[in-house]
Amino acid sequence: MIKINLVKQKEMKLVKFFLAMLAGFGLIKVYNFVAQMELEEEESDIYDDEHEYPLFV
């Protein structure tokens, strides 16, 4: 009965590791998505400002 318990503990450690790895990967994806949205927003602001107030008139 002790051996069965040890096997289950090892399996649970492996499952927990994979779940933590997936969660970390998901957080990285979300961070990249938010950063990309902010960059696109800044680029559109720069584009709008250039057309409203041109440098050379």
Give the type of residue at 24: G
pTM equals 0.51
Q: What is the pLDDT of residue 8?
A: 81
Structure tokens given for 17: 């590791």
pLDDT tens, position by position, 7-56:
688 888 888 999 999 999 999 998 989 888 887 776 665 555 556 666 66
Query: What confidence tier does 4 reach under pLDDT thresholds 50, 70, 90?
Result: low
Determine the Cα–Cα distance for residues 30 and 40; give it in Å rounded to an integer: 15
Stated as kind and residue range, the H or E segment containing 19 is helix 2-52
